[in-house]
Chain A
Amino acid sequence: MASVVRPKTATEALSHFRHREINALMSHLRLYGPLSPTAEPVPTVEVHTESSTGQPSIRPSDPILLPNPFIPRKNPRTGKWREPRYSLRQQAELVKKAKEINNLEMIPPGQKRAAMELRMRRVQASLSPSDLAHFEAASKAPQPSAVLQAVKLEKAKSYAEKSVEASKNRIANLEAQITERQAQNELDELAAFEKDTVQPEADRHARLKRQKEFASLKEEIVEAHTAKQNNETKFFGAEWRLGKVEDERALQARWSETVWVGDPKLKEKKGAELGIKLYAGKKKMFKGHLWEKQKVERVRKQSMLMRDMKLRVDRYKSFYKKRKPNPLRPSRYTKPPKLPF
């Protein structure tokens, strides 16, 4: 049976998108060369050298420079165009997810984001003042998931830490008990080896009991070591996950200042602001029926024909009148007179 894949939440999907874009940067640089931002004023990335290693480092406050994945790009070597890394459907999905958490700035600029922003503006314009207040409050909703996650992981980490401490204490305690009883245990083992040979034991029952307790102590200490290891694993796991969450939050904080290199070339649709696109930007709303447009030519032709129609009709009617027999040339269709010879 195939495993069921849980659909991603908005934050998960956007986090996945973030990481995907950061990982794609290297292949982009290899294919297209260095990123060159457009004419828009871009905050210059100040590169500082670390004193110890002499390597250039980028301060955490510098904006991230990434290629816009929503636009097609031309490979300079082959001259062939590559489609955007995300199809329009995928872009729309990302925009919807960003809208869910009320942070459209996360997504690079493109036609889907522009369309969503336009829609939001139109909705805002149509609302009454009370509804508008609600709308604005909803669109500034905080993101509690990351904060809660961090809190949970902190708790898990501290609990694991305490468990590790407790395990260590237990091990120390057991080891102390073992060292206490070590000498007596050796004597007991010797007695067990020599039993019924030298003289019968007086406190055989007590010896057996002591040996049993010692064995159980040994087992306990093994258990305690295992438990300590488990707790340490949990502690390191919690620490690592917390570190990841902190990194993610740091990235989220920086992400809003990302500079997306590449012009999306948004087509300006006339009348989009109004919402009426049918006749926007056009001189005539309806061009008129085809017969109306052809009427002038038709009337001109007909008037020419009708001008000499009377003459034509008269000529037609007088066709047979004109065809009188010629006195000089008798008709061929009359038989010649029959002669008696």
Chain B
Amino acid sequence: MAAKAKARTMIVRMISTAQTGYFYSTQRLRQGPKLSAVKYDPRVKQRVLFVESKKTKKG
């Protein structure tokens, strides 16, 4: 049997740059660029920059 083919998309975590520990989870293309966005952080109650982290899954 052939090896399992890698998926087209992957789940990523976007972590707050305010270092509150809050994050969002989204999808992106496996070959695509790293995600970043300005999103709401409830810990500081403002919109802040969120940047994708290297680790996507826990552990």
Contacts and interface: CB of A to CB of B under 8 A. Distances in A.
A280 interface: no
Interface in B1-37: 17-20, 36
A195 B50 CA distance: 146
A278 interface: no
Contacts of A137: none
Q: Chain B binding site: helix, strand, loop or mixed by DSSP?
A: strand
B49 A316 contact: yes
Contact of A305 (B18, B36, B38, B47): B18
B38 A302 contact: no
A313 B49 CA distance: 6
B18 to A, nearest CB: 5
Sorting the interface of chain B by its residue count into under 10, 10 to 19, 20 to 34 or 35 or more gives: 10 to 19
Contacts of A30: none
Contact of A313 (B20, B44, B48): B48
Contacts of A302: 18-20, 44
Contacts of A244: none
A309 B45 CA distance: 13
A142 B35 CA distance: 90
The contact size tier of chain A is: under 10
A306 B38 contact: no
A313 B18 contact: no
A116 B35 CA distance: 70
A305 B49 contact: no
A313 B38 CA distance: 7
A312 interface: yes
Nearest to A315: B49
B46 A312 contact: no
Interface of A: 301-302, 305-306, 309, 312-313, 316-317
List the 3 closest pairs (A to B, CB-CB), nearest first. A305-B18, A313-B38, A309-B48
5 contacts: A302-B18, A305-B18, A306-B44, A306-B48, A317-B38
Given A302-B19, A302-B20, A305-B17, 20 more contacts: A301-B19, A302-B44, A305-B18, A305-B19, A306-B18, A306-B46, A306-B48, A309-B17, A309-B18, A309-B46, A309-B48, A312-B17, A312-B49, A313-B38, A313-B47, A313-B48, A313-B49, A316-B36, A316-B49, A317-B38
